[in-house]
Structure 1
C-alpha cells in the first residue's frame, strides 16, 4: 500500500508565492530507491529529498491538467528508452527553488529500458494535488485526461443509486435513539453521539460534540455530503451548523444534504426535530397517535384533543395542543370555573394559589385536555371570581380559538398565572444573570459570550452577519476558503452600505481588511505596524544590497565614473575613482610636503594634491634607473665591457619613446666608439678596441 502527502515545505513556499502573486509551478519528478523504506508507514510531512546517491532518475513534467477548481494533476510518462533502475520513492518539486511539494512511498518497482532485443516497460505516474484555489494558483487551464486520473462516471452512478435507495427507506431524515440529539446544559449546548440518515447518506457522530449557539432563535442543522479524492476511499462527512435557515446546496461539485435536527427559541429552549427510525417506523408512530379521536367535526376546527374513551385514559401521554394551553390561560383569567370536585378526577390542571406556585411543573395530561373539551362544550361554567386565584384551565369560546399558538410546556399554566400578575419567571436570565433585580450588560457579556466559532472548511465569503467570530485551528482555516492566511485567528464583521471583514492572525499582529459591496469582495488589504513592516518590493523601493536596475530596464548604456555599465557584470570603483583617496592610497602615491593630520579617514584629491607630491622611484644598482613620477621622465645608466664590435646592450627598463643616448670610455685604450640601432629597449655598440663603455639614456 502506498502513502502520499503534501509537504510542509510546499505549504510555506505556496504562501510566499501567493504574497508575490506568483504562479505555483511544479515541473519535475524525482525517483529514488531508499533502503529500508516501509510504504505502509505514514510519511513525515517535514521529509526532504533523499541523498543524491539514492536518487536514480529525474524527469520533467509530461502533462498538467485541471480536475476542478481545487484539484490539479501532474503526470510523467517514462518511456521504454528510460532505465534500468528500481525505485520506491517519488517526489514532485519546483526545480528552480528546489521545493519538494509531494511525496509517494511505494513498494519497490522496476523501470526497464528496451535493449538487446528485450522489450522495456512504459510507466505513467501522476500526482493529484487538492487544496483550495489549486487551479487559480497553478494557473493550469487544460482539463485532465482520463489516463491521468483513475475514475469513471460509473462509480459516481453507483454511489448515487445507493443514496436514492436509502432515501426510499429513510426519507429526508431518520435518526435512532439519542443519535444527534441536541441537549442544553446550563448555558452550553451539545449534540449526542450516534447514527442518522440525511438525504440518503448515513452519518455517524463518534463522540458527543459541543456546539456554539450565537444569535437566537436558530436551528441546528446536520450537513452531510459524500466526498473524497480521486485516489482515496470516499466517505460521508457530517458537519453541524447553527443558523437561521439552511437548505441543500452544492459546493465545488459536491452535493450537500441538510436537515434541521433541533430548534432553539429566543429563550434558549431546545425542541427536538429528529424523525425517529425509518419511514416505516415513522408511519407506525403516526398510526399509534390515532387512538385519540375528535368527538365531532366541530372539535377539528377548535383543535381540541379528545380521548376516545371517557373511562380509560390512565396510560395516555398525549401532549396538549396550543388550544388546550389557551384554555389554561382563559380559566386563569376567571372566565370559567369548576362547579364541583369531580373536575379533579378529570385531570384539570390547577395552581395551588395565586401567590405560591413555585412547585408546579405539571404537564397537561390527557385528562386535562379532555376537561378542556368538556368545558368548551359548556359542561362547566364559572360561578364566581374566586377561581381566578386557582388558575383553572378553560377555553374562552367553544367556537373561536383558531389563532392561538401557545406551546404546551410543563410550566405553561404557572406562566399564565405569573403573567396575569405581571411577574417575569424567576428562572429567566440575560446572559446568565438572574432577573431578580436590575442588571448591567458589560462589554465582557458581548465579547466573551457572543463570539461565534468558525467550523471546519467554511468559506469566509459566507460570513456577512455582523458579529465576532473566531477560528481555533490552522487546519480548519486551510480547509476553508478566502482566508487572508491559512492560519487561526479572529474575524470581525461590520455592516454599512456593504460588509467589512477584519481578520487578525492568532500568533502575530498581522491584520487584514476587505470590503464586500454590490456583488464583489475586494482583495484582502494588509495593515502594517512596527512588528510587520512592508518589504522593499511592496514599497517599490530598492532592497539593501540588491540590484539597483536590471539590465533589461536600461534604455541606453550608463557610465559610472567613466566605466560602462550594461548590467552584464559588476563595476568595482576604488576610492580614487569616486573622488577621494584612502589613507593607504595616499601614503602609497604621495610624498608629504609637511605635517598634516586630516579630520576624517580619507583625503579628498584636492587635499592630497595641496599637501603632497607624487613619490619618485629608482633602481640604484650598477646598471640603474631613475623615474620622475610627476613628469614621467626616465633616466637609465650603466657600464658595458665591450668584448666584440657590434655588441648589443639592453636597457634595464623599456622606454615608451626612443631615448637620447650618450657614451663615454670608462677604461681601456682610447679608440673609436659609437652606437647604432637605438630603440626603446636596446642599442648596438660599435667599438674599434676592447673598452669599458659607460652610457646614459634619457626619455620617458
Structure 2
C-alpha cells in the first residue's frame, strides 16, 4: 500500500496555504537491494540513488482521476516495448521533484517483447492517495471510473436494484412513526431522530438535528443520495431550509432525491411526511374472520344442547359470555383456517359485498392473511360501508429490519352439520344455547366468527391462526399444495410464526420465528427490546435500561494513527484532543498545519529537537503569535524534521 511521505505532507500544506495546484507528474521505479516488502514504508526516506532507479514514467493528463473529493488515483501503463528491468520500489514525484508517495512491493519483472526470442509483458500500476480536498488541490476533473477497470458498474447496478426493490415496498417515501418529524423546541426547529425510506434509500437519523437560520414561512426538506466512500457506497442526507427542492444530479453524477418534511408558517408546523405506523411491536390480537357456515336442525321436543341431539360436527360453546360475546374455546389446541383469506376482525365484518362496522362511532381493524402474507387494515370511525385508510404488513423477528415478504398466518374452520328436512333450521329453533351461531353467512365455504363487543380464540396449550394449513390430529396438511402456508402459534406464553413454501403434504415446518413483543424488555439476564439512548442520556450516564449503539459510543471520537496523527475524545469523555506530527522545515516562517483543527483551543504545543547533517541537535521555535487552532509558523536553526505534540480541546 502506498504511503504519503513527510515531504509530501509538507508539500500538501504548502500548496493549500498558497492556494496552488499540486501536480504529480511521474512514476519512479527502482530496484532497492535487500528491501523487505512487508516492512512499513519509511516516510522520511528520499528517492533511491540513480544507480537503483530502473525506469521513470511521465504521467499523461488522462491517467489521473478522482474517486471522490478526498481520493485521487494515478496510473502508469508500461507497454511491451519497455524493458528489461526488475523493481520492488515504486514512488510518485511532484513537478517540483518532491517524493510524494512510496510503495514497497515483492520483486516485479518488466520484459520487452523481442520476437521470437522473448515475449514481453504489459504492466499497469495504480497509486491511490487520500487526503482532505485532494480533488480540489490537484485540479483533477476526470472520474477514475472512466478508465480504471473495476467492478464499479457492476456494484452500482447491485445498489440500484436494491434501491428499486426497497422503493417497490416503501414507495417514493415512507417515514416510520414520528421519525424525522420537524418539531419546535424553544425558538429552534429540529428534526427528530428516526427511520425512513426515501426512493428506496434507508435513512437512519440517530439524533435530533437543529435546522439553522429558520425564518417563517419556510419549507424544510431532506436531500438524500447514495454516495461513494472509499470502497463502499453509503447513504448521505442533509436538511435544507427554504424553497421546495426537486430531485437533481450533482456535478459528480450522483442522483439526489428531495422530499419535503414540513412547511412552517405562522400558524404552526404542517407535517408533509408520508407516515406509516410501523414499530417493532406486534399488531394487537383481534378476532379472526372465520365461522361455521351451516344450519342446525330444530326439534322443539328435544333438549337444548348439541349432546341432546348427538350432534358431533358443531363447535360447542364451552365458555358462554354475556352480551353476545363468543370464545372459540379449544382444549389443547385451537385453529382458525381458510384456503384463501382468514380474518381476525374488530368492530367490522364482511356481509358478502361490503365491509361494515358494528358501531360506526368507533374505529375498525382487521388482521388477515393472503398469499402467504399477514396484513393489517385500519379505518377510523365513520359511516358504513367501510373504506379502509391503511393496509400494512405485520412484522415479526424474522423480517423486522427488511422489506422481505412475510409468510402469513391464516386459518378457517369449515363446519358442516347435517340437516333434517323435518326439523328446524336454526339453533334457536331447537333452543340450543351451547353452540356458536353463524350471524354472518358467507358464500363459498367461508366463515366469520362474528362476536359482538369481543371475540376470542383460546386454548390451554396452543392456539393457532392458520392460512392454507390445518392440523388433522396427526400432522399438518395444506388445503392447496400449490400455495405457501403460514401459522401464527400462541403457546408456552409466547407467539411464534411458522411458514413453508408450496409443496406436498404433510407439512414439515423447518423453522419458527419469534414475534416481536414490546412488553418483553431487555435485561442483563434476558433478550428483549430496549430504547436507543440519546446523546444527552449518554452524557448523563444514569439510565441503565437503554441501548447505546456503536455510532453513539463513537460519537465525537476520532483517531488517526499515522506519523502526523491525532486522537480526539468524545464530548462525554471531556472532548480532549491530542495531536502529533513531524514538521520538515527548510526555511524559516514555514506554515505548518495540524492534522485537524482544534474545535475550541490549542492549550500547549511542544516541539522536539531535530538533527543537522552532522548529527548535531537543532531546535525549532514557534513564531510568537502564530500558534492557532489550525497550526503554527516555525523558525528553525537548521533544515531538519522536528517532531511536535499539541494538546487542546
Larger RCO (CA under 8 A, 6+ residues apart): 2
What is the TM-score of this pair, normalised by structure 2? 0.35
The structure that is helix-richer by fraction is 1
Which protein is richer in strand relative to its size?
2
